[in-house]
């Protein structure tokens, strides 16, 4: 009877659709953990997660299975592998885990609970599997629930009743603020109910709007943390397991890394989401408008930390309304970050549009239309540079602006990605202060401050007319963000928000702005999900919507 096992955790960053590349990552992970008896990979490591409708292409699913079978045939020696993969069997497609041992696929288990809420829609593409039995691996009965299978008691209970001795849960669990604690609580609940130790193996990396934070861990039967992998990067660890005198298994040894929480975790999510979107899509770098304001300063810092200064190009595009402070702050921010920086005035474009539209606009007062022309002139400039040189334009609007439509379509909303799309303005200020005082791990930017203190201190302004301030059009950001969080993340009614102490007229106005701006958000570039409910996969409201009830 086996009394010791070395189980390796391979927390990898696959690319959705890159079957060959992902198999290479799996092969490399197995080599890193060659001393293990078994190496565990995350959910759908072969296809990348989430594969969405790509997995519905029969040729894709078939290629995944063929790649797994070919890899299994190679494994005549060394550790066995437990890999997540799509698996077509009996005319049905499953989210599966396959045990590769002894030159063959020795066992396959299917995911039972398919999530179909928030960012998940697995019922669209997969069939639910039957309740699983444990896998017999070297006379050790290992239960393998897949991700959602541990979010309710049923699957783990079935495995425990079927004789499982160790629970190993491959996961593809995306990040949101507070999620690591929620995961830990779920695992502790399953361990408490079953009396079995549980290994949680998570994916890491960015995939469109989702970011996976890794942070794989092991909890033993006494609910103690026995191993903790790093967050926000690929990581590999060998955990040592022993069978005790009573026959129960425990993790005797494993690394315990620190995992960032709070503001650092938000910053890492934005940084990793941007890095993987740029790198996995093959862009040489990014291009952004550096205005001297706080949003573009934070976006530039995230970009430099993610990609390095050599891959970030910043452009200041002043108008006659751009202040001297903004010009100085943008230049100083670029210097502190070490990025390429140039000035391209939009004055000539404004003059050209004034002349071109003079007859059409005759007899009208200048207003928001003319302000939007400035924004669109900047957007056109950035897109022209992008087309010419290949860099992706990074949009810089925050969640507060996206919520109330304080942004211009085809202007400041131009871009292929937005690193701060799911970050409220008040949190933008907090992140800027934090980044100026800290050097996050795994960054390519400077260790010291990344923006002038004045950028954080001065009142926000779009500078589209003389002496303009954001608060001319919006409530103070602490008030606005407090209302928006209750509306969006909390799904509270206007009456509930007013009862919490907010002014009724202000609440009604913000509610209306949130409603009528849906069409803008629909056309906005993707950005990393950081909050509990982002604009995108989490919140899918109809554009044509006659429901206007507030209270």
3-state DSSP helix/strand/coil percent for the chain, to nearest 5? 40, 20, 40
Angle of helix 262-280 relative to helix 425-437, nearest 10 degrees, comes to 90
Could you tell me the CA-to-CA distances from 126 to 52, 116, 410 in Å, in that order? 10, 11, 38
Could you tell me the CA-to-CA distances from 320 to 314, 373, 382, 546 in Å, in that order? 20, 13, 19, 41
For the chain, the farthest-separated pair of C-alpha atoms sits apart, in whole angstroms, at 92
Q: Per the structure block, which two tokens stand in for 376?
A: 């669109």
Strand order in the sheet with 417-418: 340-343, 312-316, 286-289, 392-395, 417-418
Catalytic residue numbers, as ranges: 43, 111, 147
Could you tell me the CA-to-CA distances from 175 to 40, 108, 119, 267, 293 in Å, in that order? 21, 28, 11, 12, 28
| Cα–Cα distance, 326 to 465 (Å, whole number) | 14
| Cα–Cα distance, 525 to 542 (Å, whole number) | 18
Instruction: Let me know: does 468 contact 303? Beta carbons within 8 Å.
Output: no
Place of tokens 């565990």: 40
Rg of the chain's alpha carbons, rounded to an integer? 26
| Cα–Cα distance, 289 to 76 (Å, whole number) | 55
Four-residue CA torsion sign, 142, 146, 148, 154: negative
Give the CA dihedral 363, 365, 366, 367, nearest 10 degrees: -140
């Amino acid at each position: 009877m086996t009394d010791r096992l070395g189980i390796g955790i391979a927390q990898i960053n696959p690319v959705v659709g890159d079957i060959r590349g992902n198999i290479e990552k799996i092969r490399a992970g197995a080599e890193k953990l060659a001393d293990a008896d078994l190496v565990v990979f995350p959910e759908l490591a072969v296809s990348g997660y989430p594969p969405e409708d790509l997995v519905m292409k029969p040729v894709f699913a078939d290629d995944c299975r063929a790649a797994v079978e070919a890899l299994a045939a190679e494994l005549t020696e060394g550790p066995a592998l437990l890999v997540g993969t799509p698996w077509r069997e009996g005319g049905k497609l499953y989210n599966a885990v396959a045990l590769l041992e002894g030159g063959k696929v020795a066992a396959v288990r299917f995911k039972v609970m398919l999530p179909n809420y928030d960012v998940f829609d697995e019922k669209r593409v997969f069939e639910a599997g039957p309740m699983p039995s444990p896998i017999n691996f070297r006379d050790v009965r290992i239960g393998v629930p897949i991700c959602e299978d541990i979010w309710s008691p049923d699957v783990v209970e079935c495995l425990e009743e079927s004789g499982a001795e160790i629970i190993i849960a491959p996961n593809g669990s995306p990040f949101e603020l507070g999620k690591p604690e929620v995961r830990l609580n779920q695992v502790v609940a399953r361990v408490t109910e079953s009396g079995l130790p549980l290994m949680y193996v998570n994916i890491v990396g960015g995939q469109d709007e989702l970011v996976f934070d890794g942070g794989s861990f092991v909890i033993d039967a006494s609910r103690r943390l026995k191993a903790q992998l790093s967050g926000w990067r690929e990581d590999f660890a060998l955990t040592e397991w022993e069978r005790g005198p009573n026959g129960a298994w425990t993790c005797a040894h494993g690394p315990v890394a620190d995992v960032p929480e709070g503001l650092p975790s938000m910053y890492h999510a934005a940084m990793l989401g941007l890095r993987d979107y740029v790198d996995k899509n093959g862009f040489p770098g990014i291009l952004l408008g550096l205005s001297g304001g706080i949003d573009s300063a934070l976006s530039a810092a995230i970009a430099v930390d993610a990609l390095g200064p050599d891959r970030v190009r910043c452009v200041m595009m002043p108008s006659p309304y751009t202040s001297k402070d903004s010009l100085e702050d943008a230049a100083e921010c670029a210097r502190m970050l070490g990025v390429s920086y140039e000035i391209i005035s939009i004055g000539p474009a404004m003059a050209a549009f004034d002349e071109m539209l003079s007859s059409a606009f005759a007899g009208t007062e200048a207003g928001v239309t003319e302000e939007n022309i400035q924004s669109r002139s900047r957007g056109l400039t950035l897109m022209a540079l992008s087309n010419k040189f290949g860099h992706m334009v990074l949009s810089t609007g925050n969640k507060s602006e996206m919520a109330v439509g304080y942004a211009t379509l085809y202007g400041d909303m131009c871009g292929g990605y937005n690193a701060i799309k799911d970050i409220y303005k008040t949190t933008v200020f907090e992140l800027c202060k934090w980044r100026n005082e800290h050097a996050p791990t795994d960054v390519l930017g400077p260790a010291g401050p990344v923006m002038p203190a004045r950028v954080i201190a001065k009142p926000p302004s779009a500078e589209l007319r003389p002496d303009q301030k954001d608060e001319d059009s919006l409530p103070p950001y602490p008030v606005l963000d407090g209302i928006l969080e209750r509306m969006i993340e909390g799904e509270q009614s206007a009456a509930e928000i007013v009862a919490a102490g907010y002014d009724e007229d202000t609440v009604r106005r913000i509610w209306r702005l949130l409603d009528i701006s849906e069409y803008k958000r629909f056309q906005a570039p993707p950005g990393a999900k950081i909050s509990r409910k982002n604009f995108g996969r989490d919140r899918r409201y109809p554009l044509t919507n006659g429901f206007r009830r507030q209270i």
